[in-house]
Amino acid sequence: MGPLLQWRILGTGAIGHTFARSLAGSTTGKLIAVGSRTQHSADLFGDEHKIPRRYPSYDALLRDKEVEAVYIATPHPMHVEWAIKAANARKHILCEKPLTMNRAEALAVIDAARQNGIFLMEAFMYRCHPQTRTLVELLRAGIIGDVRLIQATFSFHSDYNLHSRLLNKQMGGGSILDVGCYCTAMARLIAGVAIGKDFVEPIDVTGVAHIGAQSGVDEYALALLKFPCGILAQLASGVQVAQESIVRIYGSEGSIFVPSPWMPSYSGGNTTIFVQTAREWSPQAIVVEVNAGLYAIEADTVAAHLQEKQAPSPAMTWDDTLGNMETLDRWRESVGLIYEGEPTRA
């Protein structure tokens, strides 16, 4: 094994802590620096995760020449600025989902990555996980015949706090961008694999949403997608309603149920996909054995593909991210959700 990839974290919030804890289980990476908007937060985070270098600003962190890879863990509206600055500082980038607020911003980030010759990946951890690879293999093998219908839900109930990034419009609040993005990415993946591609774009996107009177963001939302070859998808997202966060796929010869599509075996361990075919009385349990944590697998995926600049599908490639952002733009357009600074059509 080569030298460990030197990581730094930009932002000391909830997912920053999760990633820091998981990186300890990575076989390829080591956390060496953290940057925060305040020295106090950087120090607290550094003490907790035993990180030697703590910076009181993101700019100071990016000036550290020894850091090779940056994990961007700020709220979504800040991703575009810091991803472009990190690319210009020639750091490899793993940026939290959604990569940016809309497709136009995502294009700017990808251009900066291309121009600086650095690795860039949108951090959809489930796309890096062996369970998703197994799902793709099952579909490629035609285990349920022709795919007809996809159902994908990611929805939870959070406290009604208008200052939290989930409900605050200035911080990119709302469920479509927070968790609907997982569902669009999954539906595009499944429909694409079903027709022999890595992913495919929907022909039609129609949404409805409950926009909170106080929050001004979509507190829960639904979308209907139509793909080529007659594949349809029903998506549900929410930050104010607990739903069963699952994926179901119905085909001409059976169905697939994924009980834990988004955070499979969080700390490592087995995870299961159920396949029901017309030939069998009961569903077949397909057990996926995993010996690393969800976010460690993601960090190891980055390390394994630095030279190629992108990790291969089902991890998020640049074109996959652009297509997903476009689908999110269309979903938001359909429900009339526009963020500050965006043109009328996102």
Ligand X SMILES: NC(=O)c1ccc[n+]([C@@H]2O[C@H](COP(=O)([O-])OP(=O)(O)OC[C@H]3O[C@@H](n4cnc5c(N)ncnc54)[C@H](OP(=O)(O)O)[C@@H]3O)[C@@H](O)[C@H]2O)c1
Q: What is the nearest approach in angstroms of ligand X to the Cβ of residue 15?
A: 4
Residue 105 interacting with ligand X (CB under 6 A): no
Part of the chain binding ligand X (CB under 6 A), chosen from 14-22, 146-154, 270-278, 315-323: 14-22
Residue 14 interacting with ligand X (CB under 6 A): yes
Residue 259 CA, distance from chain mean position: 18
Which of 215, 234, 33, 244 shows the shortest CA–CA distance to 155? 244
Residue 56 interacting with ligand X (CB under 6 A): no
Crossing angle (nearest 10°) for helices 39-49 and 14-23: 30
> Which of 32, 89, 96, 237: binder of ligand X (CB under 6 A)?
96
What is the amino acid identity at position 192?
A: G
DSSP per residue over 48-62, as a string? HHT-SEEESSHHHHH
Asked whether the beta carbons of 221 and 210 are under 8 A apart, the reply is: yes
Residue 11 interacting with ligand X (CB under 6 A): yes
Distances (CA, A) of 158 to 76, 244, 291, 324: 18, 15, 31, 25
Q: Give the gyration radius of the chain's Cα atoms.
A: 20
Q: What is the nearest approach in angstroms of ligand X to the Cβ of residue 134?
A: 20
Residues 121 to 160 in contact with ligand X, rule: CB under 6 A:
123, 125
Q: Is 97 a catalytic residue?
A: yes
Residue 44 interacting with ligand X (CB under 6 A): no
Tokens of 17: 């802590």
Residue 22 interacting with ligand X (CB under 6 A): no
Per annotation, catalytic residue among 97, 169, 197, 309: 97
Task: Scan for tokens 């075996």, then name that residue.
Answer: 265
Number of residues counted as binding ligand X (CB under 6 A): 21
Residue 54 interacting with ligand X (CB under 6 A): no
Q: What angle do CA 338, 339, 344 make, to 5 degrees?
A: 40
Residues 198 to 257 in contact with ligand X, rule: CB under 6 A:
none
Q: What is the nearest approach in angstroms of ligand X to the Cβ of residue 61?
A: 10
Binding residues for ligand X, rule: CB under 6 A, are 11-16, 36-37, 41, 73-76, 78, 96-97, 123, 125, 165, 171, 178
Would you name the residues annotated as active-site residues?
Answer: 97
